């Protein structure tokens, strides 16, 4: 049976990206339809969303057992699952056209993997999927009828700047970074920054994990790895630059010296909608640049001595196939511990570096090996946090 609407599963619908995706779908409800929503523990918001969108499926991946009797949405319309692994199977459903993965962290890898195995189009916000398992995902993509379209604003800008071009003609990809809330702080001033300060991102309102990643600039490190796998570009050809206004979302320079860029006021709805409508565009009432105004756009190099996480990320790719998965797991634990007030901001790169130096990996990188490596790194990172970083 032919369906008129594009049927979308939103994994992580209660998060920053998930909520914005739902707003877009509501505005384009003649084109799109929600068939699945998921949350980890925020069942109240999931319930509200399910009552509004009446998806066929609602999934809670992280609920504790005493709350098993809660109801999500209208039971006559929505089938509910409380199961940490349900998404891996549900992404297979024939009634799903697009899987929008807006989960946070390593948890996003499995659903991306299974969705591509099921030949789905995946609109990917969960950059960690490509960071930890880029080789596995690209191998899978080469055999899949599915596709992977980035939601991350920099990668959406790269995709738009690469259209109509040949890979051999690319000289360099310039990935822009806002620099986060600590862009102008000295190393000394960074020693005692608080969680509240780190959560104050100057340009974007995002989930807490990516906001801390932006403060340490690990976000840019993860995004360099993401771009490397997404566009099959050597890491050496991807250059991060700080651009505090976040107007240019990234650029590509070609062999004749031309540079193509994608610009716009910072608004994640633009790349989310582009990933859903790609390769076409759909109208969006987002704010526009007013080019009759005087704008000043600024650029500065990344200071690796104040922001060591980018180099750690690049080094992790060069170490061995498991390097980025170790980097990611150590970072997730360090960020969680920082958010819980258990370690300092400046401890985050130290924990990651110690994990990268300690944990070795020489076997073939496959799904099971990746899950084991992730767990092993988390255990070791937690031990470091307990015993102090010095």
Residue 291, both tokens:
């080019």
Question: CB 294 → ligand NDP: shortest distance, Å?
Answer: 28
CA distance 61 to 117: 21
Return the closest-CA partner of residue 166 out of 231, 78, 117, 74: 231
The strand pair at 98-101 and 6-11 is best described as: parallel
Contact by Cβ (8 Å): 233, 170: yes
Given Mg ion, ligand NDP, none, residue 254, with its beta carbon under 5 to 8 Å by kind, binds none
Does residue 152 touch Mg ion according to CB under 5 A?
A: yes
The strand pair at 57-60 and 259-263 is best described as: unpaired
Does residue 226 touch Mg ion according to CB under 5 A?
A: no
User: For Mg ion, which is the closer residue by CB, 136 or 227?
Assistant: 227
Query: What x-and-dash track marks residues 96-135 binding Mg ion by CB under 5 A?
Result: ----------------------------------------
Question: CB 311 → ligand NDP: shortest distance, Å?
Answer: 20
User: For ligand NDP, which is the closer residue by CB, 38 or 253?
Assistant: 38
CA distance 152 to 275: 9
User: For Mg ion, which is the closer residue by CB, 208 or 389?
Assistant: 208
82 bridge partner residues:
60
Binding site for ligand NDP (CB under 6 A): 12-18, 39-42, 61-62, 102-104, 107, 125-128, 152, 204, 206-207, 209-210, 268
Question: CB 83 → Mg ion: shortest distance, Å?
Answer: 30
Question: CB 374 → ligand NDP: shortest distance, Å?
Answer: 12
CA distance 55 to 36: 5
CA distance 176 to 83: 38
Given Mg ion, ligand NDP, none, residue 367, with its beta carbon under 5 to 8 Å by kind, binds none
Does residue 347 touch Mg ion according to CB under 5 A?
A: no
User: For ligand NDP, which is the closer residue by CB, 34 or 253?
Assistant: 34
CA distance 337 to 385: 8
318-335: burial string, b at 16+ Cβ within 10 Å, e else: eeebbbbbbbbbbbbbbb
Residue with the CB atom nearest Mg ion in the bound state: 152
Residues 6+ apart with CB under 8 A from 184: none
Question: CB 158 → ligand NDP: shortest distance, Å?
Answer: 13
Contacting residues toward Mg ion, per CB under 5 A: 152-154
């Amino acid at each position: 049976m032919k369906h008129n609407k594009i049927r979308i599963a939103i994994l992580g619908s209660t998060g920053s990206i998930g909520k914005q995706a739902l707003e877009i779908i509501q505005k384009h409800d003649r084109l799109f339809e929600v068939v699945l929503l998921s949350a980890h523990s925020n069942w109240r918001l999931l319930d509200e969303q399910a009552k509004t969108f009446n998806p066929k499926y609602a999934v809670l991946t992280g609920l504790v057992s005493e709350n098993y009797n809660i109801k999500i949405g209208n039971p006559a319309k929505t089938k509910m699952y409380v199961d940490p692994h349900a998404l891996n199977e549900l992404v297979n459903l024939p009634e799903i056209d697009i899987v929008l993965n807006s989960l946070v962290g390593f948890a996003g890898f499995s659903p991306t993997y299974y969705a591509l195995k099921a030949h789905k189009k995946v609109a990917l916000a969960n950059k960690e999927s490509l960071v930890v398992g880029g080789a596995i995902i690209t191998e899978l993509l080469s055999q899949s009828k599915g596709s992977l379209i980035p939601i991350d604003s920099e990668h959406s800008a790269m995709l738009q700047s690469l259209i109509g071009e040949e890979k051999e003609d690319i000289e360099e990809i310039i990935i822009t970074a806002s620099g986060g809330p600590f862009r102008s702080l000295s190393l000394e001033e960074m020693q005692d920054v608080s969680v509240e300060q780190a959560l104050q991102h100057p340009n974007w309102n995002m989930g807490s994990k990516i906001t801390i990643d932006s403060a340490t600039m690990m976000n840019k490190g993860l995004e360099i790895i993401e771009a490397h796998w997404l566009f099959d570009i050597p890491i050496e050809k991807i250059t991060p630059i700080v651009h505090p206004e976040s107007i240019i979302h990234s650029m590509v320079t070609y062999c004749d010296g031309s540079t193509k860029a994608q610009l716009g006021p910072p608004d994640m709805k633009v790349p989310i909608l582009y990933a859903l409508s790609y390769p076409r565009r759909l109208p969006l009432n987002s704010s526009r640049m007013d080019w009759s105004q005087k704008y000043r756009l600024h650029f500065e190099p990344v200071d690796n001595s104040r922001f060591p996480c980018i180099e750690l990320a690049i080094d992790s790719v060069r170490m061995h196939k498991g390097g980025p998965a170790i980097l990611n797991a150590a970072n997730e634990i360090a960020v969680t511990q920082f958010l819980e007030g258990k370690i300092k901001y400046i401890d985050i790169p130290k924990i990651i570096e110690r994990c990268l130096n300690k944990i070795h990996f020489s076997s073939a990188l496959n799904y099971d090996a990746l899950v084991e490596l992730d767990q092993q790194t988390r255990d070791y990172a937690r031990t470091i946090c307990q015993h102090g970083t010095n």
